[in-house]
Amino acid sequence: MSKAGERETGAGAEGRAGARWPVVVALFFSGWTLVYANRNVFSAVLREIGSEWGLSRTQLGLLGSLFFLAYTAGQVPAGFLADRFSRKALLLPGFYLQGAAAIASGLARSPGAFLASRIAGGAGQSTYYAPQYALAVQHIPQNKRGFGVAAINSGMAGGVITGLLLGSFLVYRMGLNWRVPFIVVGCLSLVAGLLIQALVPEKPGGGGPGEKPGGGGPGEQARPDQQGGPAAWRSGIKGRDFWLLWLVALTTQYGLYLILTWLPFYLQESRGFSGQLASAASTLMPLAAAPSGMLVGWLSDKAGRRKKLALWLVPLSTAAIGAIGMTRGNALLLVGLFLYGMTGKLVLDPVLVAMVSDRVASHARAGALGVLNLASTISMVSAPALTGYLADVTKSFRASFWVAIVLGVLASVLLAFVREEETATS
C-alpha cells in the first residue's frame, strides 16, 4: 500500500472513531448515572436503615465512609494499571461487581452483611473513574473534550436524581421495603455493563483523535517513557499546577459529600421535611447541575480558559453551602441548593478533568486522573463519618457546614495560583 493510501486509511479510521464519540459519551453517562444512583439510594433511605437496626448518626456515617474507603483504596492502582494494560479489562469487572454488590445490599439481613456488601460495591466502583475517562478521551476530539467530559459527568447529577427519587418513590410512596431500590439499581447496572462491553471499543496506544499513540497531542512523537510504565505515570503528575488542582479537588469535595450523603436526613431531622419532600427537595441540586455542567463544559472549550470559569464556580458554590446550612428560612435553603447545583463540584469536576488532561500526555492520563480523583475520595471518606460524629456531639449539622465553607474559601485561594493554559478552540 502506498503512503497516500496509508494516510487515507488512518484518516478514515480516525474519522470513524470521532463519529463514534457521542455513543461512547452516552454509555459512560449511563454508567455514572447508575454509579451515583447506587450511592444516593443509600442517602434516600438512610433514616430507614438507621431505624431498622438502631444505628446512631456516627454509625450511619461510618457505613458511608467505609464504602468510600474501599473506593479510594482501588482508585490509584486502577488508574496506573489502566495506563499499562487494557482499560476495559479493569473497568468492566469492577462495574459488574458494584452492580452485584447493590443487589447484595438489598438482600442483607444484618448491619454486618450490609456493610460487607457496601465495601464490595465501593471497591467495584473504584475501577470506573480513571479507566472510563481515559477511554472516553480516546474518542472525544480535543476541541470538544470539555463538552464531552461535561456530558459524561452530567450522569453523576442524573444518578443523584435517580437514586433519591427511586428510593423516595419506592419506599415512601409505594410503601416498599428500603431494600428494593438497591436491587433495582443493581440489576440495571449489570445491563449497562453488558452494553459498555459490547459497544465501547478500546484503541491501542491510548491517544485521542488527532493524537499519536503515546503522545500528548497532534503529531507528538512517543518518548521512551511513554509506554504506560512507572516513568510514564510519574511524568503525568509532575508539576506545581497538577498538585494545586489536586488540592482544589480535595477541598471542594467535602461540601459535595456532606450534601450527597446527609441532605435528605438533614432536611428531615433539622428542617422538619417529610421523607418524600426531603428527597424531592434534594433533587434541586442535581437538576441544576446537569444543564449547568454542559454549559460550563461548552464554554471551557469555546473560551479555552478553564481557570477563569473555575474561579467563578468555587466562590459561588461556597456561598451556596452557607445558604444551605446557615440560614433559617427554607426559601433561602432551596435557593442555596439550586445555586450549589449550578456552581458546585459536579459542575467543577469536568473543568478540573479537562485542565489536567490538557496538561498530561495521553500515555499517562489514566494514572494522573486516578491521582486527581484520590483527592476527591479522601473527602468522600471523611465527610460522611465526620458529619455524623459532629452531629452526634454538637446535636446539630452546623459545624459540618462551617468545615465545608472554610475548605471552599481555601480552594478559591489555591485555584488563583494555577497557571492558565489555553486550549485549542477549533
Tens of pLDDT, residue by residue over 299-355, are 877 766 788 889 999 999 999 999 999 988 889 999 999 999 999 988 898 888 888
Q: Which pLDDT does position 144 carry in this prediction?
A: 80
Task: Compute the mean pLDDT over every residue in the chain, rounded to the nearest whole number.
Answer: 83
CATH code of the region 3-416: 1.20.1250.20
Q: How far is the C-alpha of 339 from the C-alpha of 346, rounded, in Å?
A: 12
Tens of pLDDT, residue by residue over 209-255, are 555 444 433 333 333 344 445 555 565 566 788 899 999 999 999 99
The b-or-e profile of 364-374 (16+ CB within 10 A means b, else e) is: bbbbbbbbbbb
Q: What is the pTM of this model?
A: 0.73
- 145: Cα separation from own chain's centroid: 16
Tens of pLDDT, residue by residue over 376-416, are 878 888 999 999 999 999 989 999 999 999 999 999 999 99
Structural Rg of the chain based on CA atoms: 21
Q: How far is the C-alpha of 41 from the C-alpha of 34, rounded, in Å?
A: 10
Tens of pLDDT, residue by residue over 45-97, are 999 999 999 999 999 999 999 998 998 887 767 767 766 777 888 899 999 99
Q: How far is the C-alpha of 356 from the C-alpha of 380, rounded, in Å?
A: 20
Question: SS in 3 state form for 287-336?
Answer: HHHHHHHHHHHHHHHHHCCHHHHHHHHHHHHHHHHHHHHHCCCHHHHHHH
Task: Please state which of the ranges 120-129, 190-199, 284-293 shows the lowest mean pLDDT.
Answer: 284-293
Cell numbers 475501577 label which residue?
127
Between 238 and 15, residue with greater pLDDT? 238
Percent of the chain as helix, strand, coil, to the nearest 5: 80, 0, 20
Q: Which pLDDT does position 389 carry in this prediction?
A: 94
Domain boundaries, the chain: 3-416
Q: Which pLDDT does position 18 carry in this prediction?
A: 47
Task: Please state which of the ranges 73-87, 112-126, 249-263 shows the lowest mean pLDDT.
Answer: 73-87
Q: Which pLDDT does position 6 carry in this prediction?
A: 42
SS3 393: helix
